[in-house]
Amino acid sequence: MTCCTIWEKFDEKNNLIKEYNHWKVVVRKNNFKLGSCVAITKKHHDAFSDISDEEMAEYALIMREFESAIKKAFNNDAIHHLALMMKDKHTHFHIIPRYKEPRSFAGEEWVDDFSPGGPLGKREPPLSQEVLNQIKEEIKKNL
């Protein structure tokens, strides 16, 4: 197994929403789009072609559960599942809700131009762990 720092990067300890047999889902620390999450395989794979059929079947369940929970929590207009792996060479999907109109939550404002490019972006200043916890709890209560 290749050693990597994905769990530290996404701060699993503070940001874990739900653990499955093969995946863990965390709230994305850089929550550029309200309710953004990351689904990470528990087993390290360098490429998606290495993921087992069982792991991918479980991701289908995660997709359904999180799309529904995020819709209930924040009323998003669309959602993207992105597997870029440009920086983190451990299989993971970014789950990015998209919004046609601005959203307010936890005293923060989220604006999304709903363009097809750049849904990951950087939020400046970064959100506090307190705000991330509120996003995490809102999603959890809707799972």
Q: Could you tell me the CATH number of the domain that includes residue 136?
A: 3.30.428.10
Q: Which of helix, strand or coil describes residue 64?
A: helix
In a domain, 104, yes or no: yes
In a domain, 49, yes or no: yes
Provide the 10 A C-beta neighbour count for residue 66: 25
- Overall domain count for the chain: 1
Tell me what pLDDT residue 84 has: 82
In a domain, 1, yes or no: no
Tell me what pLDDT residue 58 has: 98
User: Which tens digits make up the pLDDT trace of 79-99?
Assistant: 999 998 777 789 999 999 999
Q: Which domain holds residue 130?
A: 6-111+120-141
Closest by CA to 55, choosing from 92, 86, 27, is 92
Tokens in use for 56?
């991918």
- Average pLDDT value over all residues in the chain: 92
In a domain, 65, yes or no: yes
